[in-house]
Structure 1
Amino acid sequence: MKTMHKSIEITAPKDKVWAVLMEEAYIQDWYKSFGQGITAETDWIEGHRVTFSDGSNNGITGIIAEKRPYEKLSFRFDGIVKNNVEDRESDMAKAIEGSHETYTLSEENGNTWLSVTCDMNDSDYDQMSAAWEVALQRISELSHAV
């Protein structure tokens, strides 16, 4: 398992960046950086379940480990979804158990620094790292339009 670290300075206040991270209309846009049909199923409440899935009903599931509006959002993963069925027992599911994805926002001189850390399988690292570059640029673009 590798941990990816990415950050971007966005010329927008962090409330606008937070809106892009949390509001469905924006999420649907920047999630396209990872592939068509990617969705998040959750109520965005700390401690509640979250499932990220693709258009073929496969994905990853976990909980919202921490949510501090305008500052931090963190997920702790505990399983996978395959053919729309949650799995926490297979070797593949156990391999991602306890991995995290965290978004941290800080504001400096009216600009926002968005940092993302994400644990992932070594085999997915290069592809996901490139996708995150695209996603962060799109988050920045959308934050200017909010």
Structure 2
Amino acid sequence: MKKLHYSTEIKAPVAKVYATMIAKPTYEQWTAAFNPGSTYEGSWNKGDKIYFVGTDENGKKGGMVSRIAENIPNQFISIQHVGILDGDKEILDGPEVEGWGDALENYAFVENNGITTVSVEMDTKEDYADYFDGTWPKALEILKDLCEV
């Protein structure tokens, strides 16, 4: 498992950045960098199950089965990925999940003089590091654009 780090500075109050990041309509816009049909099903409350889903080239639903490990509004979100979603089937163990189960994705929000720094730290399989290194900066740029209007 490899730990990746990304961050951006956004000229907007932390409350706006936090809300823009997790509100479904704007979440779907900034995460389109990862998958054009990206969305989530569930809630961001601590302890809740949440699915991060998209569709593949054949229109089949898939994604991550996750749990919100922590959510301190305007400060910190921690997502624990516990499995994968294949259509409507949760896969929580076995070879498909090896290397993903219990991976963390953490977001920290810090505001200073009207500028919010969003820091992302995530665990990933080594094979996906280049993909995330190319995609996260694009996603954070979209989030920045959404917040700075």
Alignment of 1:27-106 (within 5 A): 27-55=27-55, 56-106=60-110
Q: For the residues of structure 2 that align with 1:35 and 1:25, how far apart are their CA atoms?
A: 14
Q: Residue type of the partner of 1:13? A: P
Q: List alignment gaps of at least 5 residues for structure 2.
A: none
Give the 3-state SS of the residue equivalent to 1:92 in structure 2. coil
Confirm whether residue 119 of structure 1 aligns to residue 116 of structure 2.
Answer: no
Q: For the residues of structure 1 that align with 2:28 and 2:86, how far apart are their CA atoms?
A: 21
Higher helix proportion = 1
Q: List alignment gaps of at least 5 residues for structure 1.
A: none
Q: For the residues of structure 1 that align with 2:120 and 2:19, how far apart are their CA atoms?
A: 16
Q: For the residues of structure 2 that align with 1:25 and 1:136, how far apart are their CA atoms?
A: 16
Q: For the residues of structure 1 that align with 2:99 and 2:132, how far apart are their CA atoms?
A: 17
Q: Is the 1:66–1:72 contact (alpha carbons within 8 Å) kept by the matching residues of 2?
A: yes
Q: For the residues of structure 1 that align with 2:9 and 2:87, how far apart are their CA atoms?
A: 38
Q: Is the 1:20–1:26 contact (alpha carbons within 8 Å) kept by the matching residues of 2?
A: yes
Identity between Structure 1 and Structure 2 (%)? 29
Give the 3-state SS of the residue equivalent to 1:12 in structure 2. coil
Q: For the residues of structure 2 that align with 1:79 and 1:66, how far apart are their CA atoms?
A: 18
Name the structure 2 match of 1:8. Answer: 8
Give the 3-state SS of the residue equivalent to 1:93 in structure 2. coil
CA RMSD of aligned residues (A): 1.0
Confirm whether residue 109 of structure 1 aligns to residue 113 of structure 2.
Answer: yes
Q: So what's the TM-score if we normalise by structure 2? A: 0.93
Deviations 1:47-98 (A, max 9, x none): 0001111112111111000000000111011111112210012122132111
Q: Is the 1:49–1:63 contact (alpha carbons within 8 Å) kept by the matching residues of 2?
A: yes
Q: For the residues of structure 1 that align with 2:38 and 2:24, how far apart are their CA atoms?
A: 12
Runs of 4 or more, structure 1, over 2 Å off, are none
Alignment length (residue pairs): 145
Q: So what's the TM-score if we normalise by structure 1? A: 0.95
